């Protein structure tokens, strides 16, 4: 297949490497105009893949069979809308990111749209991307045009297993959203690895219970007990992780809170449900982001 990967950060380089090794023709699409993208990935077994791959070639894009999008949630819709007119209308677009809400922002796309969520893990260390853990990637259709694309899961699975196809991806999206609503803001506020949330069981329960109530109104059959159990499983299996939100806060980057707790608040409001714990976390993370945005803009603190 001919594949353009939009966003060549940690996850983008992981997929570029895996797809290239599998014999696919790949290019990266960067935010900056450059003809090459440098892929420098250390695999879980310690081996290093280092290649200069084609980047930003409009002819390659115009003949791509797939646009794989590995951007932060808040970067997705503007970047995808900029490229969509140059991609064949029949070529699917697969978004892999944390959080929800981009599907609604991309409703007007002509292409088949698919969503994916992953528990693969990769992080940047200087110029090197380190693949720290393998895990399943769940993909499925986000519009009716994409319903026939289950074979894509087989192609991606051959390159970077496991990849699972879901005819209805909504349930997997919401379960991942629940995990991110709990782990991401709490670890960012307590400045701790995921496993240390074992010291805050009441908060984990309260946040998960609110998410379960919204999920039930969304038509998903997830009991609060099941969801809490699932959240604890992820906390245990990723105990040593520094969550992506804590990494963003430490590096003073914009977080994905608008697409995680922010999306939950939007859906809760639509159903008339109060979610005070999640609202509090949302406000606290926004306040944190504001502090460092004000510092980088050279503004004084509001009380000065």
Ligand X SMILES: CC(C)(CO)C(=O)C(=O)O
Active site residues: 176
**Ordered alpha helix ranges (H), 92-200:** 102-105, 150-159, 170-190
- The pair phi, psi for residue 45, each rounded to 5°, is -90, 5
Rg (CA), the chain: 19
Q: Can residue 18 be called a binding residue for ligand X (CB under 6 A)?
A: no
Query: Cβ(18)–Cβ(41) under 8 Å?
Result: no
Q: How far apart are CA 183 and CA 235, in angstroms?
A: 7
| Terminal Cα-to-Cα distance of the chain (whole angstroms) | 57
Residues that bind ligand NDP (CB under 6 A): 6-12, 29-31, 70-73, 75, 79, 96-98, 118, 120-122, 124, 244, 256
Nearer to ligand X, 145 or 192 (CB): 192
In the bound complex, what is the minimum distance in angstroms from residue 234's beta carbon to ligand X?
A: 6
Nearer to ligand NDP, 50 or 223 (CB): 50
The residue from 102, 103, 137, 244 that contacts ligand X (CB under 6 A) is: 244
Q: Can residue 56 be called a binding residue for ligand X (CB under 6 A)?
A: no
Nearer to ligand NDP, 91 or 137 (CB): 137
Cross-strand pairs, 130: 42, 123
The residues in 170-209 that bind ligand X, with binding defined as CB under 6 A, are 179-180, 183-184, 194
In the bound complex, what is the minimum distance in angstroms from residue 2's beta carbon to ligand X?
A: 29
Tokens 């892929």, residue? Answer: 39
Per the document, the length of the chain is: 304
Nearer to ligand X, 8 or 197 (CB): 197
Tokens 């922010």, residue? Answer: 262
Site of interaction with ligand X (CB under 6 A): 98, 179-180, 183-184, 194, 234, 238, 241, 243-244
């Amino acid at each position: 297949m001919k594949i353009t990967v939009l966003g060549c950060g940690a996850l983008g380089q992981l997929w570029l490497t895996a797809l290239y090794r599998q014999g696919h023709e790949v290019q990266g699409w960067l935010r900056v105009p450059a003809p090459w993208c440098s892929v420098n990935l250390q695999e879980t077994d310690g081996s290093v893949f280092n290649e200069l791959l084609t980047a930003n070639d409009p002819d390659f894009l115009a003949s791509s069979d797939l646009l794989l999008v590995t951007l932060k949630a808040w970067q997705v819709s503007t970047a995808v809308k900029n490229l969509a007119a140059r991609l064949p209308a029949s070529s699917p677009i697969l978004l892999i990111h944390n959080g929800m809400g981009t599907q609604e922002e991309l409703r007007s796309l002509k292409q088949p749209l698919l969503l994916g969520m992953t528990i693969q893990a990769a992080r940047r260390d200087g110029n090197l991307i380190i693949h720290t853990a393998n895990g399943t990637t769940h993909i499925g259709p986000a519009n009716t045009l994409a319903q026939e694309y289950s074979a894509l899961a087989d192609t991606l699975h051959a390159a970077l297993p496991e990849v699972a196809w879901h005819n209805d991806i909504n349930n997997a999206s919401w379960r991942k959203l629940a995990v991110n609503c709990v782990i991401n803001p709490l670890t960012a506020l307590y400045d701790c690895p995921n496993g240390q949330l074992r010291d805050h069981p009441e908060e984990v329960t309260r946040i998960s219970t609110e998410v379960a109530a919204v999920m039930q109104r969304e038509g998903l059959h997830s009991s609060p007990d099941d969801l809490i159990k699932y959240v604890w499983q992820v906390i245990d299996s990723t105990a040593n992780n520094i969550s992506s939100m804590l990494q963003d806060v430490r590096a003073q980057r914009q977080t994905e809170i608008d697409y995680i707790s922010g999306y939950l608040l939007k859906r809760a409001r639509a159903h008339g449900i109060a979610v005070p714990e999640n609202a509090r976390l949302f406000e606290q993370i926004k306040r944190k982001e504001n502090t460092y945005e004000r510092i980088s803009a050279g503004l004084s603190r509001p009380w000065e």
